[in-house]
Amino acid sequence: MSEFLSTREVAALLRLKERKVYDLAKSGAIPVSRVTGKLLFPRELVEAWVLRNTEYREGLGVLASRPLVLTGSHDPLLDWALRESGAGIATYFDGSLDGLARLAKGQAIAAGMHVFEPETGDFNVGHLTAAMPGQPVALIEIARRDQGLVLPAGNPGKISGIADLEGARIIPRQPGAGSRMLLDHLMAEAGLAEKDVTLLDPPARNQTDVALAVAEGRADAGMAVAAAARPLKLDFLPLFAERFDLAVWRRDYFEPPLQALLAFARTRAFAERAAVLGGYDLSGFGTVHHNGP
């Protein structure tokens, strides 16, 4: 089954009429994406939504503790900080929506997210509240990041914007990754369809793999953060200033592992590393953008 379901497929999965699915989507009761101009339902978030609405007098949260895992979007600065802080948190980076689904299912204590929501011009909040309404989860800003095109050194293709990608070989991220969703959005704004470019397969699973594909000559361009390009001495064309947040299960926020990570992120070493990697603005670090319920 596809990672994204149509209205008809969701209706079949939930044994509902399609009209009821439209009503649920319109009211914001079920996780849905409108980035492509039509309704698409992330399959894992729909399944998590069903599990979350399971009735149990004592509350499902008491049945199992969450594993000490941080999921979601890969970020070079956060990846480094997790190691340097000694927080003892394992990672499973496979895109923003995958991480959110795992957080909703109780498979992680936090998830990195950078999902642009064009309907509101905001980031992450709509997807988080749709996937985990009424749940004790907070959305904490880590950094603002420059997101854009990673290009070969010297920019031999003279790429100056998304429209210049026509005919180019692009290394995409996997469906559900924030960078892939942003690329789709920017291409649509520029009037480019998938048929106008060559999307390489398999997709890159993280920011670093995007840069490696360009550095090795397998791709003409890829969407990633500035910090992925600099270590490999690649060109970078900034296109979008985005917010990178951690969606955190609130009970685990107060436990030593996450406190160790967040304390380290307030140190001079963290700020200096951000400056070396490039493309980060830490002025909003720690801002709480959502605190449910």
What pLDDT, in 10s, does the model give residues 172-193?
A: 999 999 999 999 999 999 999 9
* Structure confidence at residue 2 (pLDDT): 64
- Is the sign of the CA dihedral 134, 60, 100, 290 positive or negative? positive
- Dihedral (C-alpha) 97, 103, 106, 109: value to the nearest 10 degrees? 150
* Structure confidence at residue 53 (pLDDT): 73
pLDDT tier, 43 (very low <50, low <70, confident <90, very high otherwise): confident
Task: Report pTM.
Answer: 0.79
Each residue's pLDDT tens digit, 249-277: 999 999 999 999 999 999 999 999 999 99
Given a cut of 60, is residue 98 above it in pLDDT? yes
C-beta separation of 10 from 21 below 8 A: yes
* Structure confidence at residue 63 (pLDDT): 43
Q: What is the end-to-end Cα distance of the chain in Å, rounded?
A: 32
Each residue's pLDDT tens digit, 111-161: 999 999 999 999 999 999 999 998 999 999 999 999 999 999 999 999 999
Going by their DSSP bridges, the two strands 169-171 and 198-199 should be labelled as: parallel
Backbone dihedral angles phi then psi of residue 85, each to the nearest 5 degrees: -75, -20
Assign residue 110 a region (left: φ > 0; alpha: ψ between -120 and 50; beta: otherwise): beta
Cα separation, 43 vs 1, whole angstroms: 9
Q: Calculate the alpha carbon distances from 144 to 26, 77, 128, 242 in Å.
A: 30, 12, 18, 6
Q: Report the 10 Å Cβ neighbour count for 223.
A: 30
Given a cut of 70, is residue 60 above it in pLDDT? no
Q: Calculate the alpha carbon distances from 250 to 31, 184, 270 in Å.
A: 21, 32, 23
Given a cut of 80, is residue 86 above it in pLDDT? yes
Q: Calculate the alpha carbon distances from 249 to 31, 80, 93, 176, 182 in Å.
A: 19, 22, 17, 21, 26
* Structure confidence at residue 50 (pLDDT): 82
Q: Report the 10 Å Cβ neighbour count for 213.
A: 23
Each residue's pLDDT tens digit, 197-248: 999 999 999 999 999 999 999 999 999 999 999 999 999 999 999 999 999 9
C-beta separation of 114 from 245 below 8 A: yes
C-beta separation of 173 from 203 below 8 A: yes
